[in-house]
């Protein structure tokens, strides 16, 4: 087992990983930007090093600075968290060259799955159903021809996209040009790659994803599914496990397809296969996230398995010590993402000083955050400042527990979406479980 790990991230996920390391008796190295000197992840780590100015591009994405710190501090492994460098194949490869373990799959696997268009082709080859569409389109002319073949409505999607970026809906031919250019441009500036492909737009579908753990000895275990259909602008807001819409037979079919997907690329570590599922029970592979996901806690709650600890154990070469038949899903878990944003002002993100913080407690209530009283939320990073997670015997009970916990959560000094989350919980669509990805904009709740 590793004796020292560097955490190449910040915020709640850096804290989450630090806690796992501490429990495992592993020393920790934090890296931070100039504005994060007083961040919680820095004070919880055994050592901390400043790696540059506030902008992530100059600090948390500065590969050579991070590797220099890792080497100097004697870290044997790097945990990238989510976002930032977590799906950067070049960085994973650099780690390998430096003799430092990257806690995630091999760089070749990240590259293959990180190109969403290539990933779809690979999955087709492995007989996993994919969303109908076409391969990379070279220019607008080709896009027009392919669009006619696919039919409207469709999506222009960036092959390098992530976090809901680089996706544009095209309802009619007249909108294609603008969508093609803006998706491509957004992807070029966000990911340095403007390549796009087209995909049939599926309406009234659910986003269902399957969590996997794969060790280096060919063992693949599935930890059930997560329902992530509550989204705003293609970004998840609230997640639950199990999905209220997935029955035992469907779960088996999704599991089988996910295991096939992982085996087809020789996947190792924790990974998530994302699907869209329609009202008839047909499902389509959308993408695979080759990293820890934001919403991993709901899976931890229903399985009792610590996903971060297993990521670390697998990267250090340990085999999974349980099999599929040992995994049982107990009860129901819900997560609400708490974002520093103002729903009344178009969800404008904002920072500020936390003048009052009260975190709900009680049995089976978990709040993953890097906030503390008087903490200054900097404006430079992702607006997610916390995740409220509850677990209960039934969905109804989990819902009531979440409502109570949200009501108790108090964050003053910084705008946040707590009341919007309460509204979502109380909506008929959410209560019934029959909600789909278009719910928020389709008038169920207007943003």
Interface positions with ligand ADP (CB under 6 A): 82-83, 87, 131, 155, 161-164, 167, 191, 199-202, 205, 207, 231, 234-236, 274, 276, 286-287, 289, 293-295, 382, 437
User: Shortest gap between Cβ of 145 and ligand ADP (angstroms)?
Assistant: 19
In this complex, which beta carbon is closest to ligand ADP, that of residue 163 or of residue 378?
A: 163
Least separation, in Å, of the C-beta of 199 and Mg ion? 13
Contact 21, 312 (CB under 8 A): yes
**Could you confirm whether 291 is annotated as catalytic?**
yes
Measured in degrees and rounded to the nearest 5, phi and psi for residue 270 equal: -90, 135
Cα–Cα distance for residue pair 161/214, rounded to 1 Å: 25
Closest residue (Cβ) to ligand ADP? 162
Check: CB of residue 133 under 8 Å from CB of residue 154.
yes
Beta carbons of 300 and 307 less than 8 angstroms apart: yes
Q: Rounded distance, CA 150 to CA 167, Å? A: 17
Q: Nearest approach, Cβ of 334 to ligand ADP (angstroms)?
A: 15
In sequence order, the β-bridge partners of residue 222 are 212
* CB-nearer residue toward ligand ADP: 59 or 231: 231
What are the E-state strand segments in 76-190? 77-79, 101-102, 133-137, 154-162, 165-170
Of 397, 394, 390, residue with least CA distance to 331: 394
Nearest residue (CB) to ligand ADP, 44 versus 205:
205
Of 257-296, binders to Mg ion (CB under 5 A) are 274
CA nearest neighbour of 165 among 17, 375, 382, 406: 382
Q: Which does 155 bind (CB under 5 to 8 A by kind): Mg ion, ligand ADP, none?
A: ligand ADP
Shortest distance in whole angstroms from residue 200 CB to ligand ADP: 6
Report the nearest approach of ligand ADP to the CB of residue 56 (Å): 9
| 318 versus 429: smaller Cβ distance to ligand ADP | 429
315 binds, among ligand ADP, Mg ion, none (CB under 5 to 8 A by kind): none
In the chain, the N- to C-terminal Cα span, in Å, equals 47
Q: How much of the chain is in helix, strand and coil states, percent to nearest 5?
A: 35, 30, 35
Residue 271: name its binding partner from ligand ADP, Mg ion, none (Cβ under 5 to 8 Å by kind): none
The residue annotated as part of the active site, out of 159, 168, 232, 291, is: 291
**Interface of this chain with Mg ion, residues 119 to 138, rule: CB under 5 A:** none
Helical H segments across 134-174, by residue range:
140-150
Fill in the per-residue mask, 215 to 254: x = in contact with Mg ion (CB under 5 A), - = not in contact. Answer: ----------------------------------------
75 binds, among Mg ion, ligand ADP, none (CB under 5 to 8 A by kind): none
CB 283 within 8 A of CB 208: yes
C-alpha 416/C-alpha 333 separation (Å) is: 22
**Residue with token string 């991230």:** 9
Residue placing its CB nearer to Mg ion in the complex, 28 or 231: 231
**Which residues are catalytically annotated?**
291
Residues at the site binding Mg ion, with contacts judged by CB under 5 A: 274
């Amino acid at each position: 087992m590793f004796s020292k790990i560097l955490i190449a991230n910040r915020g709640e996920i850096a804290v989450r990983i630090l806690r796992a390391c501490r429990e495992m008796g592993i020393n920790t190295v934090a890296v931070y930007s100039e504005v994060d000197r007083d961040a919680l992840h820095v004070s919880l780590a055994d050592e901390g090093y400043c790696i540059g100015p506030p902008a992530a591009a100059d600090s948390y994405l500065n590969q050579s600075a991070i590797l220099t710190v890792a080497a100097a501090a004697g870290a044997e492994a790097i945990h990238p968290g989510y976002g930032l460098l977590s799906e950067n194949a070049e960085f994973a490869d650099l780690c390998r060259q430096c003799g430092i373990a990257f806690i995630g799959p091999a760089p070749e696997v990240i590259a293959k799955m990180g190109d969403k268009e290539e990933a779809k082709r690979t999955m087709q080859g492995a007989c996993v159903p994919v969303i109908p569409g076409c391969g990379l389109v070279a220019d607008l002319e080709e896009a027009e021809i392919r669009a006619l073949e696919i039919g409207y409505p469709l999506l222009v999607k960036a092959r390098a996209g992530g976090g809901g970026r680089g996706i544009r809906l095209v309802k009619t031919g007249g909108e294609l040009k603008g969508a093609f250019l803006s998706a491509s441009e957004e992807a070029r500036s966000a990911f340095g790659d403007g390549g796009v492909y087209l995909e049939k737009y599926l309406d009234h579908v659910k986003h269902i994803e399957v969590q996997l753990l794969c060790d280096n000895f060919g063992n693949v275990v599935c930890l059930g599914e997560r329902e992530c259909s509550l989204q705003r602008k293609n970004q998840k807001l609230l997640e639950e496990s199990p999905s209220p819409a997935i029955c035992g037979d469907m779960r088996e079919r999704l599991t089988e397809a996910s295991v096939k997907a992982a085996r087809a690329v020789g996947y190792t570590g924790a990974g998530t296969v994302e699907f869209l599922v329609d009202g008839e029970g047909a499902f389509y592979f959308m993408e695979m996230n080759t990293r820890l996901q934001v919403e991993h806690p709901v899976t931890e709650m229903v399985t009792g398995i610590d996903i971060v600890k297993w990521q670390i154990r697998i990267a250090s070469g340990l085999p999974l010590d349980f099999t599929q038949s040992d995994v049982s899903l107990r009860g129901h878990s819900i997560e609400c993402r708490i974002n520093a944003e103002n729903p009344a002002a178009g969800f404008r993100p904002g920072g500020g000083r936390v003048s009052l913080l009260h975190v709900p407690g009680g049995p089976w209530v978990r709040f993953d955050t890097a906030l503390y009283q008087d903490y200054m939320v900097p404006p430079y990073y992702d607006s997610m400042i916390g995740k409220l997670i509850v677990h209960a015997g039934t969905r109804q009970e989990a819902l009531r527990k979440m409502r109570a916990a949200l009501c108790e959560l108090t964050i003053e000094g910084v705008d946040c979406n707590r009341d919007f989350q309460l509204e979502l919980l109380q909506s008929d669509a959410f209560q019934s479980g029959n909600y789909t990805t278009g719910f928020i904009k389709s008038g169920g709740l207007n943003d």
